[in-house]
Chain A
Amino acid sequence: MPGVAQRTVDYARNYRRRALRSTLLVAAVWTTGGVAAILFLTSAGTAPFGTVGAAVSSLGIIAGLVGTDFILVMIVLAARVPLIDRTIGHDRAIAVHRSLGKPALYLLLGHGALLLIGYGLEQGFLPFAELGPMLATPNMPLAFIALGLMIVVVVTSLVAVRRHFSYEGWHVIHLLSYVAVAFAIPHQLSLGGVLANGTLPRVYWITLYVLAFGSIATYRVIEPVVSTFRHRIRVDQVETIAEGVVSIHLSGRALTSLGAVGGQFFVWRFWTGSTWWHSHPVSLSSVPTDGTARITLRDLGDGSRRILSIPSGTFVSIEGPYGLFTPAARTAPKIAIIAAGIGITPARALLEESRLSPGEATVLLRTSMDDRYLWDEVATIAKAKGAKFYTMTGPRATSGARWMPQRDAERGVSLRSVFPDLLDSDLYVCGPPAWLELIEAEAVAAGLPAHRLHSERFDW
């Protein structure tokens, strides 16, 4: 069987490489923060902690440097840099981005407060009495505005607050963070000796900004515009395949050069009068050809209902491809795929993309209702590639393994019984978050290492 002999991909080695890259990325993030603090210590003159006032001021400056470094790291993480996306995936990048938000804000608030107190102590003034001279210093009013904007941005991103905004409203507020970062630059460069003109610390600092804003400009602005106009994607046909579920067939030019892989998603924007302001992250539901692509999405409220009825010929702009729900993420000799509901879209494309030997893959599809759209396509591909194919239908069990139907749970079905080779497999799971977490928990309990678990949450 020549097909088998050809394909001895060393998944373990791929994984080790990716793990090393991931370690290096994390190390780079910590290093930038550490260097920011060291910048101050190396340039702080003789006694940065000589008096209480000086010590408080010094801590304030360090807090500002490290806090700003966090913000710049957050910008890079949100920039969808290909290297980061390929290494840890967009989801984890955004999770880290979120987890840095509050610490960064606390550091910047601390920066302001500590300097007020520190200079107050040094001058023998009350902290509030320092506000006047501070505001009278060039570039400082801008810096205060920047801090105010940053507070707004972080507060509106807290889960409890964000719920009250539409995605678009929140996003516009979030864009203010760029204004905040820009407003904070002048006071960093013009005041304080740490980043003095013509010094290496200043070069380092400027480099961080070039990387952060360069990443955003390149991958969030320029690349989408260039891709959009290069590939000229239009809606060919909107095909309703189930109640509230449509496949959108798209045509464009030179689509294979996008480098999109089955399992990845794009952020799509459909340029009709009622839908252009709303962008949609949607997975490919089949591997694109050079001239065509297909996505499948379900009406989840919001703007997505209007998409069900967009006319043929509508111009489509794209950002992407993104995502690590792909064969590139594999680390083990076998592959297990579970998908529920609309989660079938990336699972189907992933299966189509994968080069498999018979018995290498096992697929389980799950629905609690009766919508089995795309199931026949998955069945066909599974058969062609020699993958085992199972299904589970019916309402969720109320006890036992609640991610499967009641009768299966009662029979004692488990991940290990469906996927006997689970521990030698990469497990790809795609579906609603609550359901997905049950499977993740069972997989981890069964002994599956975290790096072999690849999930894609469909909560949009």
Chain B
Amino acid sequence: MAEAILTAKDLVKHYPIKGGVLRRTVGHVKAVDGVSFELLKGETLGIVGESGCGKSTLGRLLMRLEEPTSGSVVFDGVDMYAQRGRAMRKLRRDIQIVFQDPYTSLNPRKTVGDIVGEPFDIHPDVVPRKGRRKAVQDLLDLVGLNPEHINRYPHQFSGGQRQRIGIARGIALNPKVLICDEPVSALDVSVQAQVVNLMEKLQDELGLSYVFIAHDLSVVRHISDRVGVMYLGKMAELGEEDDIYGRPTHPYTQALLSAVPVPDPTLRDKREQIVLKGDVPSPANPPSGCRFHTRCFKAQEKCSVEIPLLEIRPDGAGGHLSACHFAAPREIIETVDLTDTPQATTFDSGLRDDSSLEPVGDGTQDS
């Protein structure tokens, strides 16, 4: 087993809720409430969950864009939250981020060259001043954009092309870990595949480790080696991709998987759907015991009292981490394994953006 490169331990982030005339703290939004995991070298760890589950806050904590309420993140043996000044800046070279929204993640008043070259301005010792233009062009080439577009502005690019620019900025300092916060969810279907393939290629070539945060379970399955499922600030289930998709033991994971529509009409009536009652409770006032018990089809009295620990529970073929008192495997989807089947496809992997010579249309979804 590969060694861990990033270890999160009991991460907690509570945002105070201010109220009243004196702006006193009247409560806390428990965005992330005790999350622990390890990211192994060269792997992709997918984090899935619905809106409000704390997955984006988790990403920001891992980047130290927020200070945690408690808990630690250890990168390569170094406690990230204990670092200050120069040491923290040095650490930032190794962990970088790709954002969701290709429109707000690039400064509209800077050229592509400025944006992708900014990491070198902040860390001037990485590339000598003279070589920067070349380095930026190499990066553009690496992410499949035309290196001659170095002087263009972001609004001259489509959504997919902008996301490539964001990735180029993220990998400029040669990081070891890339946190990807919903990197493809704002993109059109056909463009999404281009970016996913690019990210897989870059991982192979540069030996990156990804934390891939997304709400799309299909994309996460495609790209991830291991997957963590979050619900209301806690990790509900964590395991290998096969464990989570093939033998889920947590009722929330099972419900989530059963709700995802599969693009195959013949499965229409064969799929059984687990319908959850009610809405996700407010993270300011999460339920006692197991946070899922208010919506769970398996809930019993124990669940509202005792918090289930995230521990290895049997799943029928060994075991994996699950936070349910009554964890039991249940096959929700029948997996077709295509790993060794040659797949004849009409189109290539879209690693290079052929159209980057001329921006046309707009690669983001209709709203």
Judge: A and B partners, yes or no.
no
Residues of A whose CB lies within 8 Å of any CB of B are: none
Instruction: Please report B residues at the A interface, Cβ cutoff 8 Å.
Output: none
